Amino acid sequence: MKNIAVFASGRGSNFSAIVKAVKSGKLRARLSLLVCDNSKAAVLGKARKNKVRIALVKREDFSSKQEFEDGIIKNLRENKVDLIVLAGFMRILSREFVRAYSGRIINIHPALLPSFKGAHAIKDAFEYGVKVTGVTVHFVDEKTDHGPIILQDSVRIMPKDTLMALENKIHKIEHRLYPQAIGLFIKGRLKVKGRKVEILKS
């Protein structure tokens, strides 16, 4: 059984969705570690409640970004992590870190990449006035919000929708799509060909 590490800095709603998928047996993997850089993050309480090991690695405790990331890597190695799942981790990983775990880091983004990159994708899509937005799960490469796309799903923005209503729609898709994408990785069904991902038949 493969070991997953979730990286999160905030509420942890996607963390909870992954925990639920593991506990229900829909995701046949071991959630072996939560990596968090924020001592006040709500996700820490969720990890403790679900008895998931925590690595609280704060940037201010290290003299350089390299030492900070070395601290994270030490925890990953100790827990024999096979897949890194970014779920609202508010740090950009260095080129060296991404290369060290190439093909083993995935991220979820609340828009249909390559549209609306960045930290405020839901708000940006809403304010721009697009009729359709969505969610993307992708492999992480050396550029932000850029790597090969694993799965996408769309949602319509209705005239009556508020920003909060759109956020709720997006989160519902995230909580379904992320465990699905993780499952494809765990089953060895993802084959990367350049910038494209082929989903192999089971």
Annotated catalytic residues are 109
CA distance 89 to 98: 14
Are 32 and 53 in contact, with CB atoms under 8 Å apart? Answer: yes
How far is CA 86 from each of CA 4, 63, 89, 109, 162, rounded to the nearest angstrom?
11, 24, 6, 10, 27
- Which residue, 127, 129, 124, 94, is CA-closest to 109? 124
Phi, psi of 197 (to 5 degrees): -115, 125
Are 89 and 9 in contact, with CB atoms under 8 Å apart? Answer: yes
CA distance 186 to 146: 22
Handedness of CA 80, 86, 91, 92 (dihedral sign): positive
As to burial, measured by CB atoms within 10 angstroms (0-12 exposed, 13-18 middle, 19+ buried), residue 62 is middle
